[in-house]
């Protein structure tokens, strides 16, 4: 007969297994709920190579579970389709040559119906895998959690990509109707919070809960005293920058940024539309009047840096941001916009929290922490291979799953990118 200790261990294992099943079902079903408002024609849109069709996101996240869990760990598993490994690989060269990213929108087949059948078949197989008493159970559980976190990231990309794709349509189509305004609080007056310098701990470890490898290892940095703005930059702030000729003053711009806006003819934020002498903003709720007190979003790293210089300030480093975020109470996030709130727009700048509503550009180059080691083989291609020529963003946005937001979470994009829900919070020297 099993001992009392063995029975207790088995009970704990069963609870953990049930929790993983529940988390798996929750994350996977959310994606399908997010897709529910789409028309069938919306699933295949790809306006530029940087965006991906909704159908591709649904299939790629399923591919992850099939490739990294079912094929290596479920005995006698038969792939749903022999060519899906090629079609829905994103950038994992260790798996094989991916289908060209700019051509994802050309994949009229498989159909949307077939992609959903793929998802459901893999879900069934994953439940079988998670129910088995395998010798690699710990690896399976850890990799399943990574797959779920990966899917949440693609759910966020679904919204950012869909918004860009819909915005190319002169009809300015609506993903969902705008919810009722919660309040009409004006933007808070910009104030400054002071932080002392010194040696600070940055990053995290897997022992503290799930994290991506680029958040590790925990290490020390030295910070000079600094100040951080109490709220993000608003649309009214950006309008003032524009009216002062900010897009035409080379002294405000990094050389690469100035060259970029000269080449592209950029004179205003992405999704801003001028009609009948008034400013509007395209949102996932359709074309809306521009709210001066709204948080400015869809700014590139170049724009964020120039606006900060115009203010006589700068962008924070990612370490300054993280240290400030470590000091903030979790309850401060209750008023921020996350994807669960269903607003899909940053909202007003009366929110003081560092988390949610808008990704915030930092001045820090995206690179490895001291002692960083990517995971071996193809799974290690998740983050490390992109540590070049990008800037770090922090905080999460209105389309980020709140479960992913933590002080150590690092996002990264190229400085010209602005289809992400990205904005800025000002910083300056001195305590």
Per-residue pLDDT band for 12 (boundaries 50, 70, 90) equals very low
Query: What is the mean pLDDT of the segment spanning 5-21?
Result: 61
Distance CA 348, CA 230 (A): 13
Q: Domain holding 111: CATH number?
A: 1.20.120
Query: What is the mean pLDDT of the segment spanning 124-150?
Result: 93
Total domain count, the chain: 2
Give whole-number Cα distances, 183 to 179, 180, 335, 347, in Å. 12, 9, 11, 10
Predicted TM-score (pTM) of the model is 0.94
Are the C-beta atoms of residues 290 and 363 closer than 8 Å to each other? Answer: no
Query: What is the mean pLDDT of the segment spanning 262-279?
Result: 97
Least confidently predicted of 107-121, 169-183, 210-224, 303-317: 169-183
pLDDT score at 133? 86
Residues 158 and 210 in one domain: no
Query: What is the mean pLDDT of the segment spanning 196-219?
Result: 95
Residues 61 and 94 in one domain: yes
Query: What is the mean pLDDT of the segment spanning 197-222?
Result: 95
**Regarding predicted confidence, which is higher, 171 or 376?**
171
- Does the pLDDT at position 281 exceed 60? yes
Per-residue pLDDT band for 1 (boundaries 50, 70, 90) equals low
Residues 17 and 162 in one domain: yes
* Mean pLDDT of the chain, nearest integer: 93
Residues 6+ apart with CB under 8 A from 300: 257, 260, 415, 416, 417, 418, 422
High-pLDDT (> 90) share of the chain, %: 81
Are the C-beta atoms of residues 396 and 333 closer than 8 Å to each other? Answer: no
Q: Domain holding 236: CATH number?
A: 3.90.1580.10
Q: Is 402 left (phi over 0), alpha (psi -120 to 50) or beta?
A: alpha
**The last residue of a domain, from among 110, 134, 167:** 167
pLDDT score at 183? 60
Residues 153 and 238 in one domain: no
Least confidently predicted of 63-67, 307-311, 377-381: 377-381
Residues 262 and 319 in one domain: yes
In tens, the pLDDT along 328-378 reads 877 778 878 999 989 899 999 887 789 999 999 999 999 999 999 887 777
**Regarding predicted confidence, which is higher, 422 or 18?**
422
- Does the pLDDT at position 415 exceed 90? yes
Element (H, E) at 238: helix 235-243
Per-residue pLDDT band for 8 (boundaries 50, 70, 90) equals very low
Domain that holds residue 111: 4-167
pLDDT score at 346? 94
Residues 346 and 289 in one domain: yes
How is 255-268 classified by DSSP, letter by letter? HHHHHHHHHHT--S
């Amino acid at each position: 007969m099993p001992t009392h200790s063995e029975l207790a261990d088995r009970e704990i294992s069963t609870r953990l297994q049930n929790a993983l099943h529940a988390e798996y079902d929750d994350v996977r079903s959310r994606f399908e709920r997010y897709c529910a408002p789409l028309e069938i024609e919306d699933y295949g849109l790809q306006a530029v190579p940087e965006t991906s069709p909704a159908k591709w996101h649904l299939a790629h996240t399923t591919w992850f579970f099939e490739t990294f869990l079912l094929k290596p760990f479920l005995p006698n598993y038969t792939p749903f389709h022999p060519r899906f490994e090629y079609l829905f690989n994103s950038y994992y060269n260790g798996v094989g040559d991916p289908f060209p990213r700019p051509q994802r929108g050309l994949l009229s087949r498989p159909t949307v119906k077939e992609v959903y059948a793929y998802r459901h078949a893999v879900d069934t197989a994953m439940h079988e895998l998670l129910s088995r008493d395998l010798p690699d159970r710990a690896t399976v559980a850890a990799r399943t959690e990574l797959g779920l976190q990966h899917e949440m990231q693609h759910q966020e990309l679904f919204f950012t990509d869909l918004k860009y794709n819909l915005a190319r349509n002169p009809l300015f189509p609506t993903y969902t109707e705008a919810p009722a305004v919660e309040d009409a609080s004006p933007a808070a007056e910009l104030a400054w919070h002071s932080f002392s310098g010194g040696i600070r701990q940055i990053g995290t470890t897997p022992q503290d809960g799930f994290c991506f490898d680029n958040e590790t290892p925990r290490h020390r940095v030295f910070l000079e005293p600094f100040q951080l703005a109490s709220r993000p930059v608003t649309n009214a702030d950006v309008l003032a920058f524009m009216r002062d000729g900010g897009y035409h003053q080379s002294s405000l711009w990094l050389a690469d940024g100035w060259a970029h806006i000269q080449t592209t003819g950029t004179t205003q934020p992405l999704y801003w539309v001028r009609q009948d002498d008034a400013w509007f903003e395209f949102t996932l709720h359709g074309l809306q009047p521009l709210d001066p007190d709204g948080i400015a979003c869809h700014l590139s790293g170049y724009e964020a840096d120039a606006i900060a210089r115009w203010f006589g300030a700068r962008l924070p480093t990612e370490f300054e941001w993280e240290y400030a975020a470590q000091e903030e109470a979790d309850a401060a996030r209750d008023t921020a916009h996350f994807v669960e709130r269903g607003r899909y727009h940053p909202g007003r700048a009366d929110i003081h929290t560092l988390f949610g509503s808008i990704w915030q550009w930092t001045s820090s180059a995206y690179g490895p922490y001291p002692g960083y080691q990517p995971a071996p083989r193809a799974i290690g291609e998740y983050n490390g291979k992109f540590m070049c020529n990008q800037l770090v963003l922090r905080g999460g946005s209105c389309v980020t799953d709140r479960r992913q937001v933590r002080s150590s979470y690092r996002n990264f994009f190229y400085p010209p990118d602005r289809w992400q829900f990205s904005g800025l919070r000002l910083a300056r020297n001195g305590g």
